[in-house]
Amino acid sequence: MDGLLLDTEGIYTEVTQDIVGEFGKVFDWSVKKTIIGRPASQAAKIIVESLDLPITPQDYLDSRKDVLIEKFKNTQPLPGAKEMTTHFFSHGIPQAIATSSSSPIYDAKYKKHKKWFSQFTQIVRGDDPELKQGKPAPDIFLLAAKRLGVEPAECLVFEDAPSGTEAAIAAGMSVVVVPHPEMDCNHFKNASQIIPSLNDFEPESWGLPRFTEKL
């Protein structure tokens, strides 16, 4: 969801920098690339340890929660995301969201996009009670496939994060990566395909119905 369907990564970066900046630290891509797509608890631990912050990972999470929830209420779709998923929905192709976001954070992002997100048959959040491990473990994608009633090998995952790509591959799924422009594509060596934008996705190359018009 984050950085693939919704333009939220800039918000995470802004809020994180505000927090670490209080301790004279800088949150840049050397750290950000290691946490994108991971569960919040994992990401918080990496940030605190990498930047040697004098707070606990839980302190970090507590300090950002309310700010994030407020900022996420106005998240916007990324280019091609809404058009592509609506195209799949119109052709009866089952879709799931598998996000590391916890339910409160997910709900803040969801509020503005209820009609759009109703197109997804399943939504698996990072705090789902059946989820044992977050990305890069394959659990979240395997759970989404199970609830869709399809085999992992029949699934196509769209990702922007190295951890999510690793999780999809470990789940035995194909994965199309749409990385952030700042992300080194060498982090996605085992991806099935890497494209600069969802606008560049060609569904017919995956045996899916072609777009009737260019996104």
Q: Percent of the chain beyond pLDDT 90?
A: 87
**Nearest in space to 135 (alpha carbons), one of 111, 101, 104, 185:** 101
- Domain regions of the chain by residue span: 9-74, 81-206
**Nearest in space to 65 (alpha carbons), one of 42, 44, 35, 36:** 44
Confidence of residue 182 (pLDDT cuts 50, 70, 90): confident
Instruction: Say if domain 81-206 classifies as CATH 3.40.50.1000.
Output: yes
Is there a contact between 95 and 154 (Cβ–Cβ < 8 Å)? Answer: no
Is there a contact between 158 and 193 (Cβ–Cβ < 8 Å)? Answer: no
- The CATH architecture one would assign to domain 9-74 is Orthogonal Bundle (1.10)
- Least confident range from 13-17, 36-40, 187-191: namely 36-40
Is there a contact between 89 and 125 (Cβ–Cβ < 8 Å)? Answer: no
* Predicted local distance difference test score (pLDDT) of residue 38: 85
Confidence of residue 213 (pLDDT cuts 50, 70, 90): low
Buried b (16+ CB within 10 A) or exposed e, 33-44: bbbbbbbbbbbb
Confidence of residue 184 (pLDDT cuts 50, 70, 90): confident
